[in-house]
Amino acid sequence: MKRLRLIATHVGWAGAVTLLSLLAAWSAIAFLLDSNVRLAIVFAVVAFLLDIADGFLARKLGTTSEFGRLLDSMVDAVNYSMLAALVAERVLLPGVLGFVVGFLILACGILRLVLFTMSGFEEEGNRLYYVGVITPHLTLAVALTYLVTRFVEVPDLVVAATLGAIALAQLSTIRTRKTGVLVFWIPASIATAIGALLWL
């Protein structure tokens, strides 16, 4: 019981939202494996929104901690890297090629998350930068690739080369400024979920 109380103390309200985000991502993966891409996208969007909410809640409550950072990073590996890898392997490139690309997405994503957990942002004046393509952007690239291939025939090698290059770029020195433009990403993600329900 003491250990459970200790874990509950570490997790807190923000961590509970992080775990709800994991549940949503796990649901997305389950629907994907059941070939229900529509609901997979909806639950992936829910996971993304909850991932935004947990950090916001932790800052508002003043409960940011090393445990929270590590938990968030571990959950991101499932929410983004695992989910994107499975979409690549099961939907976009079924077969050996997809297996290889999926592994690249997963392995590079996990390595990137570990590096970020260790080093954090790069600072330049009062600006913060991510180093390497971030895992949500790679997942977005996989989702956009899926949408494009629904309407245009794209050779498998082109899809594989594109996603493989973006996967490796997670370990690059490419810098992306942290802008926090949630006023765009939140409505865009909700619109994506609605679009998936209506048109897929």
CATH number for position 102 = 1.20.120
Roughly what angle, to the nearest 10 degrees, separates helices 66-76 and 96-119?
170
pLDDT for the residue 40: 93
Q: How far apart are CA 74 and CA 56, in angstroms?
A: 18
Q: How far apart are CA 134 and CA 112, in angstroms?
A: 8
3-state secondary structure of 178: coil
Structure tokens at 70: 């590590």
Would you place residue 73 in the very low, low, confident or very high pLDDT band (cuts 50, 70, 90)? very high
More confident residue, 199 or 93: 93
The pLDDT of 99-121, averaged and rounded, is 95
Q: What is the total count of domains within the chain? A: 1
Query: Which range, 7-11, 25-29, 124-128, 188-192, is most confident?
Result: 25-29
pTM over 0.85: yes
Query: Is the predicted pLDDT of residue 182 greater than 70, yes or no?
Result: no
Half-sphere exposure of 194 (CA within 13 A, CB side): 6
DSSP 154: -
Ramachandran region, residue 194 (left: φ > 0; alpha: ψ -120 to 50; beta: rest): alpha
pLDDT for the residue 184: 67
The pLDDT of 63-92, averaged and rounded, is 92
Domain that holds residue 81: 2-199
Q: What is the mean pLDDT of the chain?
A: 89
Sheet with strand 122-124: strands edge to edge: 122-124, 127-131, 175-177
Query: Is the predicted pLDDT of residue 57 greater than 90, yes or no?
Result: no
Query: Is the predicted pLDDT of residue 181 greater than 70, yes or no?
Result: no
The pLDDT of 181-185, averaged and rounded, is 66
